[in-house]
């Protein structure tokens, strides 16, 4: 069977079955945002992410600085999603021969920028020639007092997201149309802010970690990532369409372009906000969008109509 048939999630499940991962030091293995190891008196988190030119980024509208920033940002988001504090970053680069040394220095300026903002130390990596496009593979370590997994959601928990959703997906649409690089975000135009959210996401940790029962970062899209939580926790969920947080910038731009902003918030992806579950009445700055239930997965619209959702989307309200 071709991989395009199995899909990424199908493949990960197969590989998870092949790798026993039954080491006594391994708290969380394949299938979470990061692996968690108990080593000595500490819990260490490790996450790896690969970015490939033409698949994950487009240099026609991304500067090397922005790419470096985002390269580390996506890994920081994974560490936050496990309840951790990021530590050391290892960057492996497969570099086309046509690149200039200054391109890679600009990339590292972006990496160093978010590293400094987030207390990360850039500690090593590997560089090699690439025959095809630019390939980046990053590994970030972290530490956590309590490792928060995808599998801890319980019936009755509230479902929360830490930021507005869909901005990045709209930013990507605008960038694709514009198709040239943005060197400055100094203007306060709403469209620029959306494009910046796509190019340079700035992950932030969740508050009130001790109360959180499960967590994931929203990279595939809210419905897909909530489905991962439901799969791993063996629970259902109900979310309310009118509680999905949408920024004023997204609402205005979506209106201009005649797009439903909530659709982008549900399915867009690359938000790098956190989705977590916790007792419904906890104090948190996050947006509560629904509850964990026994089994079935519903989205309820403004008129109270229910639709079943899946990782790929939902069937339309009838």
Shorter beta-carbon distance to a copy of itself: residue 5 or 304: 5
Rounded CA-CA distance 192/297 in Å is 35
Asked if residue 131 binds a copy of itself (CB under 8 A), the reply is yes
Part in contact with a copy of itself (CB under 8 A); list of ranges 132-140, 151-159, 179-187, 222-230: 132-140
Rounded CA-CA distance 105/64 in Å is 9
Asked if residue 60 binds a copy of itself (CB under 8 A), the reply is no
> Left (φ > 0), alpha (ψ -120 to 50) or beta: where does 112 sit?
alpha
Rounded CA-CA distance 39/85 in Å is 16
Shorter beta-carbon distance to a copy of itself: residue 40 or 304: 40
Contact indicator for 216, 77 with CB cutoff of 8 Å: no
Site residues (CB under 8 A) for a copy of itself, limited to 61-90: 87-88, 90
Per CB under 8 A, the list member of 76, 79, 81, 135 interacting with a copy of itself is 135
Site residues (CB under 8 A) for a copy of itself, limited to 238-277: none
Per CB under 8 A, the list member of 113, 130, 209, 291 interacting with a copy of itself is 130
State whether the Cα torsion 102-104-107-113 is positive or negative. negative
Part in contact with a copy of itself (CB under 8 A); list of ranges 97-105, 149-157, 195-203, 230-238: 97-105
Instruction: List the structure tokens of 226.
Output: 């909530």
- The number of residues making up the chain comes to 318
Per CB under 8 A, the list member of 58, 59, 85, 112 interacting with a copy of itself is 112
Per CB under 8 A, the list member of 13, 58, 85, 92 interacting with a copy of itself is 92
Per CB under 8 A, the list member of 62, 77, 118, 141 interacting with a copy of itself is 141
Contact indicator for 277, 238 with CB cutoff of 8 Å: no
Per CB under 8 A, the list member of 60, 117, 127, 156 interacting with a copy of itself is 127
Part in contact with a copy of itself (CB under 8 A); list of ranges 10-18, 179-187, 224-232, 294-302: 10-18
CB atoms within 10 A of CB 316: 8
Part in contact with a copy of itself (CB under 8 A); list of ranges 40-48, 166-174, 189-197, 284-292: 40-48
Rounded CA-CA distance 48/272 in Å is 15
Using CA atoms of 181, 187, 190, 193 in order, give the dihedral in degrees to the nearest 10: 50
Shorter beta-carbon distance to a copy of itself: residue 55 or 308: 55
Residues near a copy of itself (CB under 8 A), total = 77
Rounded CA-CA distance 201/131 in Å is 29
φ, ψ dihedrals at 220, nearest 5°: -90, -15
Asked if residue 179 binds a copy of itself (CB under 8 A), the reply is no
Part in contact with a copy of itself (CB under 8 A); list of ranges 47-55, 156-164, 188-196, 257-265: 47-55
What does the buried/exposed string (b/e) look like for 47-75 if buried means 16 or more CB atoms within 10 Å of the residue's CB?
A: bebebebeebbeeebbbbbbbbbbbbbbb
**Beta-carbon-side half-sphere exposure of residue 177 (alpha carbons within 13 Å):** 9
Q: From the CB of 7, what's the least distance to a copy of itself, in Å?
A: 10
Shorter beta-carbon distance to a copy of itself: residue 110 or 245: 110
């Amino acid at each position: 069977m071709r991989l395009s048939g199995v899909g990424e999630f199908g493949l990960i499940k197969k590989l998870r079955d092949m790798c026993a991962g039954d080491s006594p030091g391994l708290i969380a293995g394949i299938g979470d945002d990061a692996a968690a190891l108990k080593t000595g008196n500490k819990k260490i988190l490790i996450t790896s992410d690969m970015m490939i030119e033409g698949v994950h980024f487009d240099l026609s509208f991304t500067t090397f600085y922005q790419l470096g920033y985002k390269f580390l940002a996506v890994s920081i988001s994974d560490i936050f999603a496990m309840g951790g504090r990021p530590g050391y970053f290892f960057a492996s680069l497969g570099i086309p021969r046509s690149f200039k040394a200054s391109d890679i220095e600009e990339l590292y300026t972006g990496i160093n920028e978010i590293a400094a903002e987030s207390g990360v130390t850039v500690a090593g990596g590997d560089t090699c020639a690439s025959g095809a496009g630019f390939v980046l593979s990053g590994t970030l370590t972290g530490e956590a007092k309590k490792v928060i997994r995808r599998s801890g959601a319980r019936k009755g928990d509230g479902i929360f997201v830490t930021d507005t959703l869909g901005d990045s997906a709209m930013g990507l649409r605008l960038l694709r149309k514009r198709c040239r690089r943005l060197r400055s975000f100094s203007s306060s135009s709403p469209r620029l802010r959306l494009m910046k959210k796509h190019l340079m996401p700035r992950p932030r940790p969740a508050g009130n970690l001790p109360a959180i029962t499960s967590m994931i970062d929203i990279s595939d899209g809210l419905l897909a990532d909530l489905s991962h939580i439901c799969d791993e926790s063996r629970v259902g969920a109900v979310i309310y369409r009118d509680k999905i947080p949408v920024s004023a910038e997204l609402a205005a731009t979506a209106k201009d372009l005649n797009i439903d902003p909530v659709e982008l918030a549900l399915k867009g992806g690359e938000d790098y906000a956190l989705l977590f579950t916790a007792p419904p009445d906890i104090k948190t700055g996050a947006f509560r969008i629904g509850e964990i239930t026994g089994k079935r997965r519903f989205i309820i619209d403004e008129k109270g109509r229910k639709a079943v959702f899946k990782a790929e989307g939902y069937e339309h309200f009838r």
